[in-house]
Structure 1
Amino acid sequence: MAAHAVERRTVEVDGVPLSYLAAGDDAAPPLILLHGTFWSRVWQPVLPALGERSRCYALDFPGFGRSGGELTVEQATVPALAQTVLHAADALGVGQFDVAAHDIGGGVAQQLAATSGRVRKMVLMNAVMFDSWPVPAVERFRDPAVRRNTSGEDLLAARRKSTQACASRTFSDEELADYLSPWQSPARARSWMAMAAAADSRYTLELVPALKEAAIPTRLVWGRDDDFQKIAFARRYMDEIPNADLVQVEGKHIPTEDSPDAIATAILDHLAGAP
């Protein structure tokens, strides 16, 4: 599998500098990759291979990763984040696109697939769907008092624990520090809590009829040992939504860290297949 260089770039969207990881030839079919409660770092292990076929844009939402800005609770809802993605696509000169998404980013991808008319194919990797979310550790941040009383140090400690729990392998100190680096910033810590506060399964439940009608070709790629987004929901999606299939891989909630080659192959095969 060929490996393409990965570069970090910035595009201005609604007055905010959004950071993204880019890979692949400019003329290749565009693939927008979305994160949830992590950031674009989750896609880094597979971007060199995905760049073999696609022009990849792994976005950081405002207030996440290396992007500027700060999300409010209202700006962190699934519909609002979907609009941010469309504005980013416009700024990048992208019309129709494929989308791959992880965690809450999967809810955003489903919103795009169901409502935008711009998604060609979709990949959902250990993504939220139906009423699979929010998990208790996220749901507690709906309480404004919890958000007010959570210090940056508290959030950083919680993210350290959950990040390691999301992979089967043990991260090196350097890898873990890289994953955690955005949350050294108070604005990014507040953005994370805003996304947690905005997490609501009604967004994905309300999309089900439109997803059935749109029938976007979808591949579910799942770390089978995920304790946060159970594979039973992926099986349910495959059963209920037309044109969906499931590829299971070794790993937990961030399976790109456990099975990058298997995930890259599953995504590339799906994107290269007939519509």
Structure 2
Amino acid sequence: MSERVTRTKRATDTRAVAPDALPPSATFEFVETSGIELHTLVAGDDADPPVFCLHGFPEFWYGWRSQIAPLVDAGYRVIVPDQRGYNRSDKPDGVDAYTIDAMVADLVGLFDAFGYDSAQVVGHDWGGAVAWQTLVEHPDRIERGVTMNIPHPDVFLQYVAERPSQLRRSWYMFFFQLPKVAEVAWRADDWRGLRWFVDTSNRPDTWDDRTLERYKRAWSRPGAFTGMLNWYRALIQGDSPEPASWTVEPETLLIWGREDPYLHPEMAAASADRCANGRVEPIEDATHWVQHEASARVNDLLVDFLE
């Protein structure tokens, strides 16, 4: 356990963001972990087994709004942080503050802050990358892991290096390396660039105007968009961690929307092969934003697997 951990319940207006989606038990806390504070939703009974849900780019806790109540109803305590750099969480300066090792430390610190030696973890996109890395480096801290539309880190590096088609699909990661240029270009004209990015990668009804307005408020918080982009900058500019073994020991479920325009679907099976006990559940008509577009199916898979 960490020597000093802090959880502070401070009033925020975030409950108003999704009053119809959140269970009555939902509260928001600012939780200290690895030297920063993460704004965190907590729902369910304290005595229930914990499930941590980690969002990706360009979302925040709200990206799990369709999963929170069903998981609570299934008997889990659901803990959903805004990850560092996002929405109401701290946004430390500098690219070095956004390495994957820093994100893993945040998650392990959250476990400690809530008093858990281990927990189950669900991650989408970058949240899935944090889950993968924690599964590899701290297998004793994760009981089961679920990743959604994000490959095992070694598989991703292999595909980028060996498959030009995957390199082309990852074009935005390289555009994000341009300091200030990416920030200015994508937030201009009421976030036209970022709205185009999400609108062209999902089904037409995935994010309505009301949802996009909520996301734009999160993106517009001071320092947020630079913090969000720094995840990508640290990935390319920083040193990639090299664990002693890339094999994932805890039981792992890969949920994969097969219409993802960013990632080769073959990476799902290749990632499962890196797991001692892994399986893939493809969802044929879903894109990268699988937990939004196929929420009922995703929820059924989660409840079945986590039990």
How far apart in 1 are the matches of 2:279 and 2:87? 30
Q: Please name the residue that 2:163 is paired with.
A: none
How far off is 1:202 after superposition? Answer: 7.8
Which deviates the most, 160-169 or 116-125?
A: 160-169
Listed as ranges, the gaps of 5+ residues in structure 2 are 1-21, 161-166
Q: Please name the residue that 2:215 is paired with.
A: 179
How far off is 1:165 after superposition? Answer: 3.1
1:25 and 2:45 correspond: yes
How far off is 1:265 after superposition? Answer: 0.9
Q: 1:7 to 1:145 in 2, by over 3 A?
A: closer
1:123 and 2:157 correspond: no
- TM-score by structure 2 length? 0.78
Matches within 5 A, 1:1-275: 4-5=23-24, 6-38=26-58, 39-51=60-72, 52-70=74-92, 72-116=94-138, 117-129=140-152, 130-131=155-156, 135-144=170-179, 146=181, 150=185, 152-153=187-188, 156-170=191-205, 171-200=207-236, 203=240, 206-207=242-243, 210-212=245-247, 214-249=248-283, 250-272=285-307
Which deviates the most, 165-174 or 90-99?
A: 165-174
Q: Give structure 1 regions of 4+ aligned residues with deviation exceeding 6 angstroms.
A: none
How far off is 1:150 after superposition? Answer: 4.7
Listed as ranges, the gaps of 5+ residues in structure 1 are none
How far off is 1:114 after superposition? Answer: 1.2
How far off is 1:143 after superposition? Answer: 3.7
Aligned-CA RMSD value: 2.6
How far off is 1:122 after superposition? Answer: 0.3
How far off is 1:137 after superposition? Answer: 0.7
Figure out how many residues of one structure are paired with residues of the other and give that number.
267
Contact 2:55 2:124 in 1 (8 A): yes
Contact 2:34 2:105 in 1 (8 A): no
- TM-score by structure 1 length? 0.86
Contact 2:51 2:121 in 1 (8 A): yes
Q: 1:145 to 1:256 in 2, by over 3 A?
A: closer
Q: Which amino acid aligns with 2:141?
A: R
